[in-house]
Amino acid sequence: MHLYFIIVKREQIYTYSVTRMFKVAFFAIERVAEPISNQIEKVASRSPWFQKTCINISKRFRKDKEKQWHLTGFVGSDWKVPTIDNSQAVTMGCEILGEGIVWSIGLGILAYTMHQDDVAEEVQNQKLSDMREQINEINKQMKDMKNTQIKLLQIIEEQTRDPPKKIPQKRSSWWY
């Protein structure tokens, strides 16, 4: 059973197997880690302490793999992990360190981008909240204006229904 996901690009549909994508990703990580592990090997060739560290990393990795192989049932009970010499163990330890560095950088970048996305979303939510408050304030002002308009219309209606009585004005006496 394979898991698939679909990418739509320029009205064309591409289907990729998830397992194939993971294989490509791991291959890319191995290729990126290769120059780093070569540099680590150069350092290990000059430092006996670092060689021991790489050998210990390699042994730990092999022990974990051996436990995993036995738990999953891929090997029989009489199977043992083949032994490797110190130069192969140093190389293997350097490769593990190189891949660890690449994974650490990748995960750090992923964590950083996720944090940036969270910050951007927070800012967007704050802007949205501010806009909602402004809309509510405008709605309140509109209701107040509507009430004022209704009151003014009522006053105008009252004045037009009952026209004011005209009071006859007296003419001044000097005119006569």
What average pLDDT values come out for the chain (176 residues) when binned by 10 residues? 48 57 78 86 87 87 76 63 80 88 87 91 94 96 94 86 65 58
Q: Does a structural domain hold residue 24?
A: no
pLDDT in the model for residue 90: 87
Half-sphere exposure of 91 (CA within 13 A, CB side): 6
Q: What are the angstrom distances between the C-alpha of 137 and each of 72, 134, 140, 142, 149?
A: 65, 5, 5, 9, 18
Q: Does a structural domain hold residue 120?
A: yes
pLDDT in the model for residue 81: 64
Q: What is the dihedral of CA 104, 16, 31, 88, to 10 degrees?
A: 90
Q: Does a structural domain hold residue 129?
A: yes
pLDDT in the model for residue 74: 61
Q: What are the angstrom distances between the C-alpha of 96 and each of 38, 48, 49, 73, 144?
A: 11, 18, 17, 25, 71
Q: Does a structural domain hold residue 175?
A: no
Q: Does a structural domain hold residue 1?
A: no
pLDDT in the model for residue 78: 62
Q: Does a structural domain hold residue 95?
A: yes
Number of domains, the chain? 1
pLDDT in the model for residue 38: 86
Question: What range does the domain containing 70 cover?
Answer: 34-155
Q: Does a structural domain hold residue 46?
A: yes
